[in-house]
Structure 1
Amino acid sequence: MFWIFSLGTSYGQDVKKQPLEQVLKQIEQQYNARFSYADTSVKDIFIEAPDALLRFRESVTYLKQNTPLTYTFTGKRQVAISPILKERTVCGIILDPSQNPLKDVLITSSNKTLRSDEDGFFRIPYASNSDEIQLSANGYESKSLAIGSLKSSPCITIRLDKTILPLDEVVITNYIARGIDIKRDGGIEINFPKMEILPGVIESDVLLTSQALPGIQSVNERVSDLNIRGGTQDQNLIAWDGIRLYQSGHFFGLISAVNPNLTDKVRIYKNGTPARYSDGVSGTIEMQSSEQVNDSLRASLEVNLINAGGFVDVPLGSQASLQISARQSLSDVLETPTYRQYFDRVFQDTEVIRSGSNSMTTTDDELFSFYDTSLRLLYKPSARDIIQLNGLVVDNAISFRESALINNINERQQNSASQNNLAGSIKYSHIWNPKWTSMIQIYGSNYTLEGTNFDLVNNQRLLQTNDVLENGLRLEADFIATSRKRYNLGYHFNETGVTNIQDVNNPVFRSSIKEVIRSHGVFGTLDYSSKNGKTQWTGGLRGQYYDKLDVLRIEPRLFFSQRLARGFTLSVSGELKSQATSQTVNFQSDFLGIESRRWILANGTTAPLLKSAQGSIGLAYKKNSWLVTAEGYYKEVDGITVQGQGFQNQLQFVRGVGSYKTNGIEFLVHKRWEKLSFRTGYTLANNDYTFNNLPNNITSHFPNNVDVQHSLKTALAYTGEKLRLSTGVNWHSGKPITTLVTGNEVANNGLNFNSPNNSNLSGYIRFDVSGTYTFNLGGRLRGEAGASVWNILNNENIVNSYFLLSDGQPTTIRERALKFTPNISLKIRYN
């Protein structure tokens, strides 16, 4: 390796040595690089030229090792050279057993702590010749070295041996696609920079990507309305860097609200959730931004037929970097066919788009827009400390004018609805020693849904507000006991306040209800890996206390995996969870019918604390390029309300409390070739409600509104160096609906329904294609062009159907999914 060339060198002049300035010019010419230095810094230094076969970075490391100077990268091919401060220092290059450089090794002397760079190099000051330095890194044996055994130059090489067996991070790699892995705690991690393209998607949409997983889908095709193993969207914990988001979609649910440029990785838990997470009785999706301080400018600009956006990562010196990302819909300046498809899809059968000839009012001047802005400031004042500041703003807004001819006068009023989420946090992490780390985070999240609706015919104005304000404190500590045992301990305080306001001018009525609940959580988790690496499990316990309800919950969590013979792996998961927030629907016409669901808090009576219990067992076979998995699960969620299910039948205005039970089997087959991959997943599930004491002798047991019994997802992807292609099909059986009694559709001046959810819609089927091509624009600029088609066969899929009574006759309302929807994009990156 390149460091052997440094042996035996000195700074005196001999036959083979050249002036350092001359060597630097040779390297600049060979690698098209640039060194910045003062002439006095390199004067009178002589050195042998590095081997011409070395890479540029290896040549710089050779210079570090053999000259009394500091070399700092200011770009990929730009290096600043400066004299070493006038203090006693020693240096070294740290290697692993395979003679590869080890970065981020913690080096500690009596008066300084730092980390080795990407080349394994370090230079550290010392107080006296009797001093020692400590070297430590996760997965490697620690080492102590006397100052006397080190030199200021040339730097010696130091080897760190691996510990017996570090914890294995991954149970299954490339689970359904490249960049999607199952981690040792049972979470499914999506690494967006490494992912292959998915059918119908040209952006790294977090919520769309999650629907590619078995057991996760959206019955109504809205990406923010995710049904994880039969649950509703309000039963999911969706968090961004530890902050809960109460709004996760743009276009009122059709597009993910979190900009993918600030999302580095995503962890998804369907079961066996680690004890550090609260809420999310159905599932957990946590988006994580990078914790890497970047030393060079990165930026990108992107535009597609829906929105335009940009991203920039600016280094603020060598210890900090600032990331800013923003998106804005194009509808203010351009209405594309793709935008129109989305608009008609999300606002159909609402106040925004009037349907039917019996309406006395008309609408026009529709204005819709959305935007999001997010930032992440990362500061590392020392090798042991990290300070992270996060901020996020998400906004959707729709307005339109409603007109009506009243007493021969054309009356006009403007209706509007807006939905936004503000979130922010500050997090501080500290490394106490190679085994102990700690973290403290303070965060806040504010969600607001507002609507103004004028009823011109009745001269009525309705104002509605649903506001959620959440603040929290999280303390965590991680302890690495051995190479096979790791502990996570912590405390979590959370305060959530929900305000619901309703203001009517005719007749005059105003209601303002505010509720607050505080919770305290104490948790502990043990990650364990056996000596041979075949057995892994993550076991945890969470104690959760809700002060308003005076309820203490003890919630165990478990994920266990065992590698068997011949490529088989057995996994077992289980958990108990609880949740104090949920959504309810008072009237389907609330908030203009666009987003009728509003958040409420548990009160112990009409809105109980949600409680869930779940268990699952799975078997996976992975050999060569084949992966076959099967997992069966059973889940029960208690404390749901009738109002929270969004019924549009005889239960629409009924009050009641109950539960649902769901069970199913998820299958997956995945085959990978060098550049091709194929996967198909099938889910068989059953999901039933139980509501006791329903009026009018309504049966207490019937299918869940999201009871989709059969689901099939198939995709074929090609991933080349520049070209990426993907195509796939998504099919599932129709969701339950409630029909009218044939021949007696209207009774007692109302609709006459059969038993709830007695029938099903026709099956849903959609074919999608997508592709991207990457090209160079010179220097550090790269371009990426993309195209996709959602529902390429233009199938008409009905995702919901219900009835309204109009002039004494039933009218059928059918909610249609997106039809043929193309999209194109162009992204310019500077790296």
Structure 2
Amino acid sequence: MNKLLQRVVFYFLIISFCTLAYSQNQEEKQPIAKILLQLEKRYNVKFSFEPNTLKDIKISPLYPELSLEQALKQLTLVTQLNFEILSKRFIAITPKKDKEFNENIQRLDEVIVTNYLTKGIAKTSNGTIEVDAKSFNILPGLIEPDVLQIVQNLPGILSVDERISNINVRGGTNDQNLILYEGIRMYQSGHFFGLISAFNPYLTEEIIVSKNGTSAKLGNGVSSTISIKNTDDINHQFNAGIGGNLLSIDGFAKIPLADKTELQLSARRSFTDIAASVTYDAYFDRIFRDSELNITNDINTLLALDERFLFYDFNAKFLYNINESSKLRVNVLNIYNNLDYNQEFTTSENNFQKTKSALNQISYGASTNYSKLWKDNISTSIEAYYSNYDLDAENNDITNAQRLTQENKVEDYGLRIDISKTISKYLKYNGGYQFNEVGVTNLEDVTNPNFTSLKKEIIRTHALFGEIEWHSPSRDTYIRAGSRISYFGKLAEVIIEPRFNINYRFLDYFRLEVLGELKSQSITQIIDLQQDFFGIEKRRWQLANNNDVPLITSEQISVGLSYNENDLLVSFEGYYKGVNNITARSQGFQNQFQFTNDIGFYTVKGIDFLINKRYNDFSTWLSYSYSKNDYQFEDLNNGKSFANTLDLRHVINTSLTYSLNNLKIGFGINWHSGRPYTKPIELQNNSNSNIEYQSPNSSRLPDYFRTDISAIYNFNLSKGIKAEVGASIWNIFNQTNIINRFYTLDSDDSVIEINNRSLKFTPNFSFRLNF
């Protein structure tokens, strides 16, 4: 432990020490967001704005002797922004060029907490959490603005197995999240079997997270919605960057093509197929430690093995401002993962054999959006998208002389028409129509014994949606209410999904928030653990049908109270969530129900608590979540309820971030109670080759504990070139955390215990250049 601590201290003090040489290089101008915070304290006012409005604006500090009116006048002159006093406490900020038409629209999306957890994360009056990746400060363990890692720091969101492709929101499974990238529904969200986000972080500008009270225009995800968007403004200047870490290299560019057009490009590729780093070794060990790659047998003698893993992603966005009132945006995306695993061995008869196994995950996506502003405060947009996900796997099982080939393919076509009407400065209407066609193909081909299965299913969905947004003249009350009506053609079902959001400010610094929604979902993932690729859990998408996979529905309501003043935020939210018509095959049971198919539901009752204090360059927060998550199936456990596999009763996250000039440091601690699992009745030989289990999920794993740290330092390398160096350590103290436990039989039919452990001590280092 002493050597480990020495490594930690040395690792980070290198960067901290470098800042001393540059600590005097602070520019006189400061980000306008910092100036506005000073004015809010000085004059007891609140600024309302859309975060992108203030992007990249820096100004000199204002004289404290100025009155509020004088300060606003000076801000108007130096920023070319509009500052409109709405009441004695609220001031709206909008771009000057948009004053005549867009001002009322922007004013409805009021930011009520500007630094939620840390800089760049804001909470709005409509109940969503917005992350501005360009203004993002730092979070513990992160040296890049990884969008799916960032959202896991929000109360009620985490991954029980540390995979960002397996994000659990208030006890829901990952496939119950609707993840949109530039309007494209994503069926693959991670690299390296889910440990790394598949979305390049350096073009991403906005992430919007909705846990409840979702807008009526969004459907087909019963747990949460995560919307990711790249920069949508043309800045008429070339901007590019290149960098890398201990897993991959990447680059991006914003290229002005003409006065009204711009092309944005980003690409990333791992070098893990060429060279292995300590980070790669830790990731590979995390995924394959308990798989066939690390299991030997006494039937065959392994002579050599070779694994080759790589990933890459690419995306491009074309921006065209047709005129002052209309614009066109086109996006394309490609995500790729590949693992090849080759073995050479001799059999018990001394015969030489060679096998090759492979796993590929490929996603393609494209979207086109045309939007126009009309007279009479009407705006419309038409968006079409295509999403394709393909998983191909070939597994050669040496022991059983069996070859398994699987393919899971999803094709998703979508069209949405949105209409918005600003009726007055306090009232706005949104409505529209959405069409989706989703096709899923599943192929399975097995030798010894020979078996082949090919199934393809298609569901077409038509949906109408509408909602109103209203602000009181005093800005104390915000209400959004609406509904979505969906018709699922193949199932011949009509689902009505009302949604509402009420946000009320009282006593100046307190807010009451009430959210509610009904939602549905026609696609889910199934898990066949008995036919895993190398023992790795591999999920496959499947559509609802009229037989064994019903349409999933959910209901949720939450009530929250918050206090926000003097850089202190305290919030408390209680919620109830029910998800119906889930299948046992989608829950990943590794007990007596592993091969059982049944239909049931789960309910979650919980609270999310957050306290966040900001003091000068420090920001610290503590979040606590309590939840009780229970299953109930018709035939499982005699119809009695039992703990959900994702039931984490207590979750605590506490973090401290510090920013001084060009240096940012983040330190955090994560703790949660253990997951449920099922113990065998006895650990002994089983004459019937079956394991006899105790009551399902009646035992708990040990508590989970992890400490992370990260640091980022920015400096000017030369004129026009900025550099950034970052370092992080995940699990500083190399804590052994068991995140899953299950049981199997060996060749003698003895019960053996398998423990899946979390990431061990995992350092990472990055270096970037921006032009």
Q: TM-score under structure 1 normalisation?
A: 0.80
Alignment equivalent of 1:259, drawn from 177, 195, 200: 200
Alignment equivalent of 1:638, drawn from 576, 580, 587: 580
1:326 positional shift: 0.7
Distance 1:354 1:607 in 2: 35
Give the greater-gyration-radius structure (CA). 1
Alignment equivalent of 1:792, drawn from 713, 727, 732: 732
Alignment equivalent of 2:354, drawn from 384, 409, 412: 412
Matched, 1:562 2:539: no
CA contact (8 A) 2:381 2:417 kept: yes
CA contact (8 A) 1:676 1:719 kept: yes
Alignment equivalent of 1:772, drawn from 712, 724, 729: 712
Distance 2:164 2:301 in 1: 32
- Residue of structure 2 in register with 1:552 after alignment: 494
1:585 positional shift: 1.5
Residues 604 and 428 of structure 1: CA distance in aligned 2, closer, same or farther (over 3 Å): same
The 3-state SS of whatever aligns with 2:166 is: coil
1:699 positional shift: 5.5
Matched, 1:713 2:650: no
Letter in 2 for 1:663: K
- Residue of structure 2 in register with 1:92 after alignment: none
The 3-state SS of whatever aligns with 1:340 is: helix
CA contact (8 A) 1:191 1:265 kept: yes
Residues 315 and 595 of structure 1: CA distance in aligned 2, closer, same or farther (over 3 Å): farther
1:660 positional shift: 0.2
> Which one has a larger percent helix, Structure 1 or Structure 2?
2
Residues 430 and 462 of structure 1: CA distance in aligned 2, closer, same or farther (over 3 Å): same
Distance 2:231 2:537 in 1: 33
- Residue of structure 2 in register with 1:55 after alignment: none
Residues 81-230 of structure 1: pairs in structure 2 closer than 5 A: 99-100=76-77, 136-139=100-103, 166-167=107-108, 169-230=110-171
Q: In the TM superposition, what whole-angstrom CA distance separates every residue of 1:432-473 from its partner, at most 9, and x where no partner exists?
A: 126111111110000011101123444432211000000011
1:515 positional shift: 0.2
Alignment equivalent of 1:237, drawn from 169, 178, 183: 178
Distance 1:710 1:503 in 2: 43
1:183 positional shift: 1.4
1:354 positional shift: 2.7
CA contact (8 A) 1:101 1:119 kept: no
Distance 1:306 1:457 in 2: 33
Residues 181 and 745 of structure 1: CA distance in aligned 2, closer, same or farther (over 3 Å): farther
Distance 1:119 1:625 in 2: 26
1:359 positional shift: 6.3
CA contact (8 A) 2:683 2:751 kept: no
Residues 686-765 of structure 1: pairs in structure 2 closer than 5 A: 686-694=628-636, 698=638, 700-742=640-682, 746=686, 748-765=688-705
Letter in 2 for 1:100: L
Residues 284 and 119 of structure 1: CA distance in aligned 2, closer, same or farther (over 3 Å): closer
Letter in 2 for 1:683: S
The 3-state SS of whatever aligns with 1:749 is: coil
Alignment equivalent of 1:604, drawn from 546, 551, 557: 546
1:120 positional shift: 6.3
What root-mean-square deviation, in Å, do the aligned CA atoms of Structure 1 and Structure 2 show? 2.2
Moved more, 593-602 or 701-710: 593-602
- Residue of structure 2 in register with 1:441 after alignment: 383
Letter in 2 for 1:395: Y
CA contact (8 A) 2:685 2:749 kept: no
Residues 340 and 135 of structure 1: CA distance in aligned 2, closer, same or farther (over 3 Å): closer
Residues 10-409 of structure 1: pairs in structure 2 closer than 5 A: 99-100=76-77, 136-139=100-103, 166-167=107-108, 169-351=110-292, 353-358=293-298, 360=300, 362=302, 364-406=305-347, 407-409=349-351
- Residue of structure 2 in register with 1:501 after alignment: 443
1:166 positional shift: 4.0
Residues 668-687 of structure 1: pairs in structure 2 closer than 5 A: 668-687=610-629
- Residue of structure 1 in register with 2:16 after alignment: none
CA contact (8 A) 1:361 1:402 kept: no
Distance 1:686 1:571 in 2: 22
- Residue of structure 2 in register with 1:525 after alignment: 467
The 3-state SS of whatever aligns with 1:139 is: helix
Matched, 1:452 2:452: no
Q: In the TM superposition, what whole-angstrom CA distance separates every residue of 1:456-499 from its partner, at most 9, and x where no partner exists?
A: 44443221100000001111111111111111111100000000
CA contact (8 A) 1:745 1:751 kept: no
Distance 1:556 1:289 in 2: 30
1:135 positional shift: 8.2
Distance 1:542 1:660 in 2: 23
CA contact (8 A) 1:417 1:592 kept: no
Distance 1:214 1:626 in 2: 17
Q: In the TM superposition, what whole-angstrom CA distance separates every residue of 1:223-259 from its partner, at most 9, and x where no partner exists?
A: 1101100000011011101110000000010011011
CA contact (8 A) 1:559 1:573 kept: yes
Letter in 2 for 1:546: F
Letter in 1 for 2:269: Q
1:605 positional shift: 2.7
CA contact (8 A) 1:223 1:253 kept: yes
Distance 2:263 2:81 in 1: 21
1:172 positional shift: 2.3
Distance 1:381 1:524 in 2: 28
Letter in 2 for 1:192: A
1:347 positional shift: 2.0
Moved more, 312-321 or 456-465: 456-465
Moved more, 724-733 or 325-334: 325-334
Letter in 2 for 1:803: Y
Distance 1:588 1:337 in 2: 31
The 3-state SS of whatever aligns with 1:210 is: helix
Q: Relative contact order (alpha carbons < 8 A, sep ≥ 6): 1 or 2 greater?
A: 2
Letter in 2 for 1:530: S
Distance 1:739 1:358 in 2: 28
Residues 588 and 213 of structure 1: CA distance in aligned 2, closer, same or farther (over 3 Å): farther
The 3-state SS of whatever aligns with 1:482 is: coil
Letter in 1 for 2:466: G
CA contact (8 A) 1:737 1:801 kept: yes
CA contact (8 A) 2:524 2:541 kept: yes
Alignment equivalent of 1:812, drawn from 753, 762, 768: 753
CA contact (8 A) 1:418 1:450 kept: yes
Distance 1:745 1:753 in 2: 14
1:745 positional shift: 6.8
CA contact (8 A) 1:766 1:792 kept: yes
Moved more, 432-441 or 370-379: 432-441
- Residue of structure 2 in register with 1:465 after alignment: 407
Distance 1:310 1:433 in 2: 41
Unaligned runs of 5+ in 1: 1-75, 77-94, 106-117, 122-133, 141-162
CA contact (8 A) 1:370 1:397 kept: yes
The 3-state SS of whatever aligns with 1:341 is: helix
Identity of aligned residues (%): 41
Residues 243 and 219 of structure 1: CA distance in aligned 2, closer, same or farther (over 3 Å): same
Matched, 1:542 2:484: yes
Q: TM-score under structure 2 normalisation?
A: 0.86
Task: Count the aligned residue pairs.
Answer: 687
The 3-state SS of whatever aligns with 1:767 is: strand
1:738 positional shift: 0.4
Distance 2:109 2:396 in 1: 60
Distance 1:373 1:119 in 2: 32
Unaligned runs of 5+ in 2: 1-55, 57-71, 83-93
CA contact (8 A) 1:403 1:456 kept: no
Q: In the TM superposition, what whole-angstrom CA distance separates every residue of 1:772-795 from its partner, at most 9, and x where no partner exists?
A: 000002222100000000000110
Distance 1:526 1:508 in 2: 58
